[in-house]
Each structure stands twice: as structure tokens, then as C-alpha cells.
């Protein structure tokens, strides 16, 4: 029916369709470019998504048309795409190799959302995440102020934190754990951190999502520290007007940023950055840390 | 050139428009003949008596209608002739109805009606009036001793005569096994949402010519090669994806990616050319990022200074 190209990648055969379909009309970015991005970013991205039951957000007809979330791995996925047990009855796709990421791109799964834990150990978060979500007119530069303050607190208990942009309006801060953690602890710690910041900077920070006092403030969303929640994966594209990416950044870059544009990276920028910096998010899956706990942990 | 299959007239009130009907569809199924493999002779059918097995001469063959098992009433041609629907050679319009009131199950076959020379004006008038009404003309006509129900439908600058089956020819779905229980099935919102997603994946426009009878095309190609003398062995199982060539992923994407980039740079050139000649407020995309950066840098610096003061 539709034009199809059969390709080989990493020993897998993959059927690509509608390569010239424009998924981002504002930039004219085609599906071929989306697949190309995911194929090229795979070496940096795979460690952060492998083994995790992922949620896709797909825009089959481009970002100006409707999108839908796909938690269950579709039956037509190639048999070499692993099906992983997610929360409840969910059987999600896993993406653990370049071919799988290219396949996801071909599905117009622009956004890849990942939980903090892997299938088989769903109740063991590998990192703590704080999602910093600005209420306009606050923007990512406002988030940076909050992130720097959070880092200062984490520094006092010798915890390394790693920042990335959300690729949308805000950013996230990850505290690598990689062993021995549970969501009870990470969510409590994240809430405590948020509340501490809320006390320190009441004009800037809030932690309660239900409050409508958002304008100009940054919501510290601690609630993504839960086995049934997902966060936009590092290096995932976003389904926004332009092909922006949730991009790992350095603290120096954050502190030097004076406008949201300084912290907006599109697919091509991110490939160049990875070429130059390597994976700035590597610590998140490699560094073993312990949250302070009663009894020394 | 297609040959007319019927000659007659569209009759509408006092107006009569002589037309010819042409088949709208020419079927392309592959037809085979039966042959004797020893001699290559064609096989032909003979009418033989079911009792004696002997051939029955044509003038002894009559029509019978089985009213009960093994019991027939005989009818002859004269009787049938007298019964035959007359109606003359007219497509008689009986009502103008909305097309969507006719269920697709009812459609049988389609013909194009073309006006006889000299009647183009009347034909065009009926066509245009039908187009404006948004309706189709339900009509009846007789062809080959059989009565037809049809819709006269304006379609792309011509009148199509689309025949329909009769109401009592439609099979009652209640009589079909398995359909009776469907109405009682309950589906949850979640299941429905999942089904919606599956549909969403394949939403598109109907592009008729993208669908092909690939079996027939391959079969005809094989037959033609055979006719040209080529030795054909049983075809191998097609590999996944048919006969598409397998290529490296990034190599396969290269051309598409390059094309997308080229398309963008043409756009950008057009934009900068447009900006050079006229101030077009909307076309600022290429320049936007850098200038916006400077502007908001100033704004942010000012904001920070203000924040420090108030702190």
C-alpha cells in the first residue's frame, strides 16, 4: 500500500513507511529526520531507557494533529522489540537497541516517557526526579534559579544531581541512586526537598499542584517518584512546534543561560552536543548514591 | 472505445432525453479455458438428459419451474413474452432522494448514461439541476427482459445509472448466525479507547489507486512470461516486505533527510528574499532565534537586577 523501505540496522530488519511525511510543519521536519535522529542518538539514549516499560506519545499525522499515549506495546511491533511488564496489566515496549529506537521513530512516537525503574524491579527507582515546571511568565531561566538552590541543598548531604531540560517549558533534576532505593523514600525525600525550597523561596516555588497560584512561580513536582509515573526520557524529542529535545545540560550552561533560547535544543543541536560532550546524563545510570536514611542506609 | 449496452431514454415528467448506457466497470478477473491435455482441444458442454445421458436436441428443451421437489410447471416463450415487463425503453424517474438514504449494500452495478446527439442540452440541464438539488433520481427501467431499480446520480459531469438490488433480495441479518448476540456485548471505555488508538494509527484518505489486485497482476505477468516461452518454476516464498531491497538504515534515510533539508533551505532563501524586498511581519522565523535571544537576554538581566534590589 504505502511506500515502504526495508532497512537493516544492527542485524534487525525494519520496515520504514512514509519517510517524507512532515511531522513538524513549522520546520518541515520529516519522519525520515525523526528516525535519523533516534538512530543517531541511540548510543547515548539507550542506557537511559533500556529495560524500562516505556510510554509513547505518538503523533501519526504530525504535531499539529492529535496525539495519543500508548502504554501497551502494539501487537504489530516487531517481535524483537521486548514486551515489558509495567504497572498493573500494562505490557509496554522496551527500547534497548538502535533498531528499536528507529522503529519507535517510524511509529511517530516522538515522545518517549520512562519510569524511574526497570521492568522486573518496578519498585526500585534508579534515580530520584524533580520536575521543575514554570508557570508563565516564569520560564526555564526561572527554573534554573530553583534548580541551583536545590543543588545547594543536595550538596550539603553530598548528593550529586544532574540536570536536563524538559524540551518543553521546564527542566528536570535527577539524583542518581542505582541501588537499594524504594519509591516511598524517594517520594518523601523529593517532597521534603520541595517543601524546604517552598519555605526558602515562597515567592518563587510551590509544591502543591492543585493550587492555582502558579503564575510566575516554579512548581516542584515531586510526585513523579512513583512506579506508575513516567517522565520524559533524556534525549526524547517533544511533540511541540519545533523538534526540541529533552537535553542533558551542564550546571555551567544553566548558570550562564540568560534566556529560554539558550536552553532550547533541537534534534540537530543535540546530536552535535553528544558528539562534543558525550552523554552528560551518564551519571544518572552509573553513579551509586544513597539518600540519607535512618540507621545510615 | 466502450460499446453501448442499452439504448433508451430518461423520462422525467414530459421531458424525454434519449441516452445510451455504457458499462462503468470492466472487470479484470483472469479467465481460464478448459482444455484436453492430450490434444489441447477446448472442452465444450453438451446438454444431456439426466436420465438417459443422451444429448437432447435444442427444440426439445423447455423451461420448467420447480414448485415442489421433482415437480415442475412448464412455461413457454410466448407466456414469458406476454409477462415480460414492458415499460418501453425508458428510465422513468420516480423520486428525488438524498444519496445517503441508500445503503451501500444495495448497490449492484454502474453504468454511464450518455446523451444521444442533439440532446446534450436537456441532459446537461438535468445533470446541473440534480447537482444543485444534492439528490439522486430513483428510477426504474427494463433491460433484457428484466426490471431494474436504479439511482440516476450526477457524478463528475455526467449521469451515472447505478442499479440497486430489490428490497426482498437483501438477506435479513437476523437470520445470520453470530450477528444476533453482538448487540448485547458490552465494551468498556478503556477497550474502546484502545480500539480508537488502533483506528487513529491508520486514519487516512481513501486513495483508490493505491490499492491493487496484486495477485491478479502477478498472475497475469507470470502467464505472459510463460506465453513468451519462459520456463516457470514454482515461485519462492516472498521474503518479508516483498521484493524490496534491504538497505542500511542511515543510508536509506540519507536521501529523504537531504531532500527535507533542501526543501527547508529553499524556504529560507525565499524568506530572506521576501524580507529584503518587503517588510513581511510573519516571515521572521530564520532570524527570530538570534534576535529573540538578545532581546530576552536584556529582559532577563533587567529582571534579575530588579530581583536583587527587591531581595
pLDDT averaged over chain B? 80
Residue of chain A whose alpha carbon sits nearest to that of B207 = A1
Whole-number Å distance between alpha carbons of A66 and A244 = 18
Reply yes or no on whether the pLDDT at B96 is more than 60: yes
- For the stretch A43-68, pLDDT in tens is 999 999 999 999 999 999 999 988 88
Report CA-CA distances (Å) from A248 to A45, A110, B145.
Answer: 11, 18, 80
- For the stretch B11-27, pLDDT in tens is 987 889 999 999 999 88
Question: Hey, are the CB atoms on B210 and A1 less than 8 Å from each other?
Answer: yes
Q: What is the pLDDT of residue A8?
A: 87
Interface-testing mutation among A6, A13, A25, A267, with chain B (most B C-beta atoms within 10 A): A6
Contacts of B291 in chain A (CB under 8 A): none
Chain A residues within 8 Å of chain B (Cβ atoms): 1-2, 4-9, 13-16, 19-20, 22, 26-30, 32-33, 35-36, 39-40, 58, 60-61, 66, 68, 70, 72, 74, 98-99, 102, 141, 258-262
Reply yes or no on whether the pLDDT at B279 is more than 70: no
- Please give the DSSP secondary-structure letter assigned to residue B183: G
Q: What is the pLDDT of residue A208?
A: 83
Reply yes or no on whether the pLDDT at B211 is more than 70: yes
ipTM score of the complex?
0.72
Chain B residues within 8 Å of chain A (Cβ atoms): 194, 196-198, 200-201, 203, 210-211, 240-241, 244-250, 252-253, 256-257, 259-260, 263-264, 267, 285, 289, 292-293, 296-297, 299-301
Q: What is the pLDDT of residue B194?
A: 82
Question: Hey, are the CB atoms on A8 and B248 less than 8 Å from each other?
Answer: yes
Interface-testing mutation among A67, A107, A148, A259, with chain B (most B C-beta atoms within 10 A): A259
Structure-model confidence comparison of residues A287 and B188, the more confident one? A287
Alpha-carbon distance A261 to nearest alpha carbon in chain B (angstroms): 6
Reply yes or no on whether the pLDDT at B309 is more than 60: no
Nearest CB to A19: which of B197, B256, B267?
B256
Q: What is the pLDDT of residue B272?
A: 58
Query: Residues of chain A whose pLDDT is less than 50?
Result: 1, 296-297
Reply yes or no on whether the pLDDT at B276 is more than 90: no
Q: Residue B222 — very low, low, confident or very high, per pLDDT cuts 50/70/90?
A: confident
Q: What is the pLDDT of residue B80?
A: 80
Alpha-carbon distance A146 to nearest alpha carbon in chain B (angstroms): 14
Whole-number Å distance between alpha carbons of B21 and B2 = 10
pTM of this structure: 0.56
CB pairs under 8 A between A and B: 101
All three cell numbers of A40: 543517531
% of chain B beyond a pLDDT of 70: 80
Question: Hey, are the CB atoms on B249 and A19 less than 8 Å from each other?
Answer: no
Question: Hey, are the CB atoms on A261 and B293 less than 8 Å from each other?
Answer: yes
Nearest CB to B248: which of A7, A27, A74?
A7
- For the stretch B25-63, pLDDT in tens is 988 888 888 888 888 888 888 889 988 989 999 889 988
Q: Give the β-pairing of B246-248 and A4-9.
A: parallel
Whole-number Å distance between alpha carbons of B107 and B103 = 8
Alpha-carbon distance A264 to nearest alpha carbon in chain B (angstroms): 10
Contact assessment for residue A128 and residue A174, using Cβ atoms and an 8 Å cutoff: yes
All three cell numbers of B169: 433480495
Whole-number Å distance between alpha carbons of A226 and A223 = 7
Whole-number Å distance between alpha carbons of B102 and B137 = 11
Task: Give Cβ neighbours of residue A141 (< 8 Å, ≥ 6 apart).
Answer: A257, A258, A259, A260, A262, A263, B300
Amino acid at each position: 500500500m504505502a511506500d515502504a523501505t526495508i532497512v537493516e540496522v544492527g542485524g534487525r530488519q525494519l520496515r520504514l513507511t512514509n519517510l517524507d511525511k512532515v511531522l513538524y510543519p513549522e520546520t518541515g521536519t520529516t519522519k525520515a529526520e525523526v528516525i535519523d535522529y533516534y538512530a543517531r542518538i541511540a548510543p547515548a539514549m539507550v542506557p537511559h531507557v533500556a529495560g524500562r516499560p516505556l510510554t509513547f506519545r505518538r503523533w501519526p499525522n504530525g504535531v499539529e494533529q492529535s496525539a495519543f499515549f500508548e502504554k501497551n506495546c502494539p501487537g504489530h511491533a516487531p517481535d524483537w522489540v521486548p514486551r515489558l511488564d509495567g504497572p498493573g496489566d500494562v505490557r509496554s515496549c522496551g527500547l534497548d537497541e538502535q533498531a528499536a529506537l528507529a522503529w519507535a521513530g517510524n511509529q511517530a512516537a516522538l515522545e518517549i516517557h520512562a519510569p524511574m525503574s526497570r521492568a522486573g524491579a518496578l519498585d526500585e527507582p534508579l534515580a530520584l526526579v524533580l520536575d521543575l515546571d514554570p508557570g508563565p511568565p516564569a520560564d526555564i531561566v526561572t527554573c534554573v534559579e530553583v534548580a541551583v538552590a536545590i543543588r545547594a541543598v543536595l550538596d550539603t548531604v553530598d548528593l550529586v544531581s544532574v540536570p536536563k531540560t524538559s524540551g518543553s517549558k521546564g527542566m528536570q533534576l535527577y539524583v542518581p541512586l542505582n541501588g537499594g532505593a524504594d519509591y516511598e523514600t524517594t517520594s518523601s525525600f523529593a517532597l521534603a526537598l520541595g517543601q524546604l525550597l517552598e519555605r526558602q523561596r515562597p515567592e518563587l516555588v510551590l509544591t502543591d499542584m492543585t493550587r492555582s497560584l502558579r503564575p510566575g512561580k516554579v512548581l516542584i513536582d515531586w510526585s513523579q517518584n512513583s512506579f506508575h509515573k513516567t517522565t520524559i526520557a533524556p534525549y526524547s524529542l517533544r511533540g511541540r512546534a519545533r523538534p526540541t529535545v529533552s537535553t542533558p545540560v551542564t550546571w555551567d550552561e544553566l548558570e550562564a543561560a540568560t534566556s529560554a533560547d539558550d536552553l532550547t535544543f533541537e534534534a540537530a543541536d543535540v546530536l552535535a552536543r553528544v558528539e562534543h560532550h558525550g552523554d552528560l546524563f551518564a551519571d544518572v545510570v552509573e553513579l551509586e548514591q544513597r539518600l540519607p536514611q535512618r540507621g545510615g542506609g | 472505445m466502450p460499446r453501448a449496452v442499452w439504448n433508451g431514454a430518461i423520462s422525467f415528467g414530459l421531458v424525454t432525453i434519449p441516452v445510451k448506457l455504457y458499462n462503468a466497470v470492466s472487470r479484470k478477473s483472469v479467465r481460464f479455458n478448459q482444455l484436453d491435455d492430450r490434444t489441447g482441444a477446448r472442452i465444450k458442454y453438451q446438454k444431456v438428459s439426466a436420465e438417459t445421458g443422451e444429448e437432447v436436441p435444442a427444440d426439445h428443451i423447455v423451461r420448467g419451474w420447480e414448485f415442489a421437489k421433482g415437480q415442475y410447471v412448464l412455461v413457454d416463450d410466448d407466456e414469458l413474452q406476454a409477462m415480460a415487463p414492458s415499460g418501453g425503453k425508458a428510465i422513468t424517474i420516480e423520486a428525488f432522494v438524498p444519496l445517503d438514504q441508500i445503503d451501500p449494500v444495495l448497490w449492484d452495478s454502474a453504468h454511464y448514461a450518455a446523451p444521444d446527439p442533439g440532446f446534450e442540452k436537456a441532459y446537461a440541464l438535468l445533470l446541473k439541476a440534480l447537482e444543485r438539488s444534492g439528490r439522486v433520481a430513483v428510477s426504474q427501467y427494463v433491460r433484457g427482459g428484466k426490471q431494474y431499480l436504479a439511482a440516476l446520480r450526477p457524478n463528475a459531469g455526467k449521469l451515472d445509472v447505478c442499479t440497486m438490488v430489490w428490497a426482498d433480495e437483501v438477506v435479513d441479518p437476523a437470520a445470520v448466525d453470530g450477528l444476533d448476540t453482538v448487540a448485547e456485548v458490552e465494551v468498556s471505555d478503556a477497550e474502546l479507547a484502545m480500539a480508537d488508538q488502533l483506528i487513529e494509527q491508520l486514519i487516512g484518505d481513501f486513495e483508490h489507486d493505491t490499492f491493487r489486485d496484486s495477485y491478479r497482476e502477478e498472475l497475469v505477468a507470470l502467464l505472459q512470461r510463460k506465453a513468451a516461452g519462459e520456463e516457470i518454476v514454482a515461485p519462492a516464498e516472498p521474503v518479508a516486505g516483498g521484493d524490496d531491497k534491504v538497505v542500511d538504515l542511515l543510508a536509506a534515510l540519507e536521501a529523504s533527510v537531504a531532500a527535507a533539508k533542501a526543501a527547508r533551505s529553499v524556504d529560507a532563501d525565499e524568506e530572506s528574499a521576501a524580507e529584503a524586498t518587503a517588510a513581511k511581519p510573519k516571515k521572521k522565523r530564520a532570524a527570530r532565534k538570534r534576535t529573540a535571544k538578545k532581546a530576552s537576554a536584556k529582559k532577563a538581566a533587567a529582571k534579575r537586577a530588579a530581583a536583587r534590589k527587591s531581595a
